[in-house]
A = this chain, B = another copy of it.
């Protein structure tokens, strides 16, 4: 399969590694505006060649966009303009509604699959690329009825070969869910990093940064190039999630201030339930069949 990956950073590079190893991609072409990244990608063998965008999207079977969501918005319509009738286009951005709206009514809209593989690290660039980054994770496919069945089938096959589970939802639903499970944790980490750095005695604090602090603040290392446009495109739902979070933090603080230690115990006990949810004994997965259908079937 002739495969073109636009953007050879963490996500595009990791995908290149896996798709070649799995024999999904036989010919791998990259598009990368950062010269250093482009050279590095060739050097470490991520792709066979790096070409200009216009050239790379001609005569290829699948075009995969793995660039910041504001850049996607800029080039997605012209990519659909430039591909042949049978080429499949997929984007991997963290926001979906704005992207989908930008190609509404386009004559090749059915060639396009809006996707969001829920995987990543706080690092970026081709050297951050990892094998099996996607394995065992979930990918979201949005508004799948607006895509042609052949294109959808090809993309499903690709994600399944990567070992991913697939969830189907509308672009709006994905933006709402993702605000809570991904965008909010990033915003929370950025704010935590800023809060601790704002303390006058930060010098002491940093030297003591323990394991607990490290993991909670890890996402604050994530690049603004990727995350600034995500927050802007999903403004409404990120604000909603932040408001809910702040309310819960305020409740925690109020309990401490008013010495309501019983309530404080309840808050901790309720939070502890996240363990069984994250560790696989998810009661919702068993009980809520209606939601399951919505999530896991077409």
| A residues whose Cβ falls under 8 Å from a Cβ of B | 118-121, 137-138, 140, 167, 169, 173, 176-178, 180-182, 184-199, 201-224, 227-228, 231-232, 235, 238-239, 241-253, 256-257, 259, 261, 264-265, 267-275, 277-278, 282, 284-285, 288, 291, 294-295
Interface of A is mostly: helix
Knowing A180-B199, A216-B216, A224-B272 are in contact, say whether A295-B185 is a contact too (CB < 8 A): no
Measured between beta carbons, the chain B residues less than 8 angstroms from A243 are 253
Extra inter-chain contacts (10) besides given A204-B295, A215-B219, CB under 8 Å: A181-B205, A181-B213, A185-B212, A191-B245, A202-B284, A216-B218, A232-B256, A232-B264, A239-B253, A246-B246
Most buried by B among A186, A238, A252, A265: A252
Smallest CB-CB separation from A214: which chain B residue?
B278
Contact B249 A245 (CB under 8 A): yes
Kindly provide the distance from the CB of A130 to the nearest chain B CB, expressed in whole angstroms.
11
Once the chains bind, are A212 and B242 in contact (CB under 8 Å)? no
**Structural contact, B208 and A138, CB atoms closer than 8 A:** yes
Is the Cβ of B193 less than 8 Å from the Cβ of A271? yes
CB proximity of A159 to chain B, nearest CB, Å = 14
